[in-house]
């Protein structure tokens, strides 16, 4: 079931943000041209297992890491980087609040970290999602 959730996350964000390059292989982010938003979904594990009366663990929460990256033009100001990171975060919030596929019953952002203006023109954020199927 986790594989389907991962496929559905990529498909849903690609449909919502067609200008983004969305995938599941982080290495792909390094081959993109500047001024491109790349998003990678990485499965980190699972938790919160719920057993039914038959003692089958058929419900659980997938732990998903989301990496969003956008390299701005050379000499972009630190403020512009921060503004881009805030935009990326809003894009993620909008995605989680959108009509997600039927395989996803609930999706919550539990944590977001950013570059804190520490990496030149590279705006990025890393977010933890908990996805209930």
Q: What is the pTM of this model?
A: 0.88
- Pick the more confident residue, 33 or 121: 121
pLDDT digit string, tens, across residues 110-131: 999 999 989 889 999 999 999 9
- Pick the more confident residue, 64 or 54: 64
Distance of CA 83 to CAs 88, 90, 109, 115, 122, Å?
9, 11, 20, 12, 12
Helices (H), the chain: 2-16, 78-96
Taking the C-alpha atoms of residue 83 and residue 115, their distance in angstroms, rounded to an integer, is 12
Taking the C-alpha atoms of residue 84 and residue 35, their distance in angstroms, rounded to an integer, is 11
Domain at 2-132: CATH code: 3.30.2000.10
* Mean pLDDT (whole number) for 95-114: 92
DSSP string, 77-100: -HHHHHHHHHHHHHHHHHHHTS--
Burial (CB count within 10 angstroms: exposed 0-12, middle 13-18, buried 19+), residue 29 = buried
| pLDDT of 55 | 57
Flag whether pLDDT at 66 surpasses 80: yes
């Amino acid at each position: 079931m986790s594989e389907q959730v991962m496929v559905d996350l990529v498909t849903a964000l690609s449909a919502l943000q067609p200008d983004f390059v969305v995938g599941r292989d982080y290495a792909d982010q390094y081959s993109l041209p500047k001024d491109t938003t790349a998003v990678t979904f990485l499965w980190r594990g699972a938790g919160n297992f719920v057993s039914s009366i038959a003692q089958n663990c058929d419900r659980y929460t997938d732990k998903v890491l989301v990496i969003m990256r956008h390299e701005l033009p050379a000499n972009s100001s630190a403020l512009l980087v921060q503004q881009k990171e805030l935009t990326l975060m809003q894009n993620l919030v909008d995605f989680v609040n959108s009509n997600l596929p039927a395989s996803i019953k609930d999706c919550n952002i539990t944590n977001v970290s950013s570059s804190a203006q520490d990496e030149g023109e590279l705006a990025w954020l890393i977010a933890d999602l908990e996805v209930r199927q």
